[in-house]
Structure 1
Amino acid sequence: MPTNTNKPYGTVLVKAKEILDFLGRTETAPTLAEISAGVTMAKPTALKVLTTMNELGLVRRDDQTKRYYMGTQLIAYAQKALASFDIAGTVRPYLERLRDETQETINLGVVRDDQIVLIDKLESPNSIKLQSIIGGTMNLYSSAMGKAVLAGYSSAQLHQYLSGRELKALTPATLTKQTALQADLKRIRQTGISIDNEENEPEVYCLGVTLQKSNHLYGAISVSTPKYRLSDERRAQFVRLLLNTQHAIESVL
């Protein structure tokens, strides 16, 4: 009788991950009832898993509000995981130079589970700070780094990504129709530069490129700036600097 060797072992571990994923998506700390509904898990089961996770430091329960937060134990895991990405250490000097040249925020992301995970962010020396945080995720279809990645997908990979996927609007400018997104991806393939024009965050403009060599995708980088600071001249400069940085990094990968 055939068996599925890829079937996850340990249903409690799967449930714990579902809870952590839900906590990572919520803007405010949820209650037991909200977690139960959010992950489609019976409340008694969710409570048992949460109680164990609380004992292990993976979540933290506020006894007064009865709300759950990410546990401090995850900080050490996150730091270790981020440190294990060789790409981050390799490209850091290049990103620092790009930040100094543009005076804007520079981002480094990798693809995980059909999303961009931000693994490094060099803040602009100017006063305005953007919403993205290291460890946070962005959609492939709405972010500059994500669209740069999608533009490099084969027809089969792109079809698999788009199949049955709802392109939800994050802002009024988000591309929510597959035809519009595919037309944008065609332009990216022609120019080598992806653009997020207030599609992921209002009033923020981003330019992105991938980092790849020998058909291996290492990640993507982007320049993010408040749109009001971006003149045509600065945009052209950013495109040139971003492409130069991409070429310099790929030469050492």
Structure 2
Amino acid sequence: MPPSERKTTSTPAASGGVQSLERAFDLLERMADAGGEVGLSELSSSSGLPLPTIHRLMRTLVACGYVRQQPNRRYALGPRLIRLGESASRLLGTWARPYLARLVEETGETANMALLDGDEVVYVAQVPSRHSMRMFTEVGRRVLPHSTGVGKALMAHMPDVEVRALLARTGMPAATDRTLTTPEGFLGALEITRDRGFALDDNEQEIGVRCIAVPIPDSPTAAAISVSGPAGRVTDPATEKIVPLLQDVARELSVALASNGSPTG
């Protein structure tokens, strides 16, 4: 949830909820929104909670290893969250597989799911095509977003200043002679992605491979799904048929993830 949409935590807990637990998780999310490191006064300002309450919650989170206090007295997300995040990513990929399998059944091409993790795209699920010549990306593989369809889908609605900052950190190395290697070129591709409702990697990550991707709306973490295959099969006419299927599956996945239960496919 974007920081601008996050409510303050000074209201009573939802019926049946534990207020201190809700507040602790909200503070962790606010820390993530702020880049992973914040001061107590920043948390108090954004959450509406008094400093003594925040200090007590942060002390507990530090003791549990979910937050650590830096030498400069600011607080940072702690290493124990890594294990939770990795497990959640694997589970998310497991949930997505029935939806990806339907994409493979209807398009004949490989289907993937990817997340934006820091400055990189990480693939968390894949169902391969049955064709002998197919696109294959190892689950767990990390790539830079500027040369991928899922990267464009994941970043299409990020503010330009954030996109430029990410590209400055990662650089824009060329994977092929079709890779976009300037911030202006990539920002232009993101504008096209927003206008037409899907992203396209046209021989930019690997020569001979095209990838079509869409974001999962309202996902709790930035996520996208894609269909990829040889350029000779994933043609413009094929793309016109694939895009609506991708968008339908993305909406269904969004509803399943919002239900707080395992998607059934």
Check 1:90–1:8 CA distance in 2 against 1; reply closer, same or farther (3 A cut): closer
The alpha-carbon distance between structure 1 residues 177 and 126, as it changes in their structure 2 partners (threshold 3 A), is same
Local SS of the residue matching 1:205: strand
Question: Once the two structures are superposed, what CA deviation does each residue of 1:143-162 show, in whole Å capped at 9, x if it has no partner?
Answer: 11011111121234223213
User: Any idea what the Cα deviations from partners look like across 1:70-113, whole Å, max 9, x if unmatched?
Assistant: xxxxxxx9xx9456544223322111111110110001111112
Residue in structure 2 matched with residue 141 of structure 1 by the alignment: 146
Q: Residue 87 in 1 paired to residue 156 in 2? A: no
Give the distance between the partners of 2:232 and 2:105, measured in 1 at CA.
Answer: 19
Alignment of 1:153-172 (within 5 A): 153-163=158-168, 165-172=170-177
Change beyond 3 A, Cα 1:129–1:6 = farther
Alignment of 1:49-68 (within 5 A): none
Residues 160 and 187 of structure 2 are in contact (CA less than 8 Å); yes or no, is this contact kept in structure 1?
no
Q: Is the 8 A contact 2:174 2:180 kept in 1?
A: yes
**Displacement, 1:217?**
3.2
Provide closer, same or farther for how the CA distance between residues 221 and 9 of structure 1 changes in structure 2, counting only shifts above 3 A: closer
Label 1:118 to 1:152 Cα distance change in 2 as closer, same or farther (>3 A): same
Whether the aligned pair in 1 keeps the contact of 2:210 and 2:229 (CA below 8 Å) is: yes
Paired residues of 1:210 and 1:217 also in contact (CA < 8 A): no
Q: Which residue of 2 aligns with 1:174?
A: 179
Distance 1:202 1:5 in 2: 46
Percent of aligned positions that are identical: 28
Aligned to 1:243: 247
User: Partner of 2:245: helix, strand, or coil?
Assistant: helix
| TM-score (norm: length of structure 2) | 0.62
Scaled by the length of structure 1, the TM-score of the pair is 0.65
The runs of 5 or more residues in structure 1 that have no matched partner are 11-76
Matched, 1:102 2:107: yes
Task: Please state whether the residue corresponding to 1:213 is helix, strand or coil.
Answer: coil
CA distance in 2, matches of 1:90, 1:9: 27
Question: Does 2:229 correspond to 1:229?
Answer: no
C-alpha RMSD of the superposition:
2.6
* Partner-residue secondary structure (3-state), 1:91: helix
For residues 86 and 160 of structure 2, what CA distance do their matches in structure 1 show? 32
Contact 2:214/2:225, CA 8 A, preserved across alignment: yes
**Pair 1:124-2:129 in alignment:** yes
Preserved contact between residue 134 and residue 230 of structure 2 (Cα < 8 Å): no
Give the counterpart letter for 2:183 in structure 1: Q
The answer to whether residue 156 in structure 2 is matched with residue 151 in structure 1 is: yes
Q: Which runs of 5+ in 2 are unaligned?
A: 1-70, 258-265
Moved over 6 A (4+): 7-10
Distance in 2 (CA, whole Å) between partners of 1:9 and 1:192 is 37
The equivalences for 1:41-52 within 5 A come to none
Q: Closer, same or farther in 2 for the Cα pair 1:9/1:234, shift >3 Å? A: closer
Give the CA deviation at 1:191: 1.3
Deviation at 1:3, TM superposition (A): 2.4
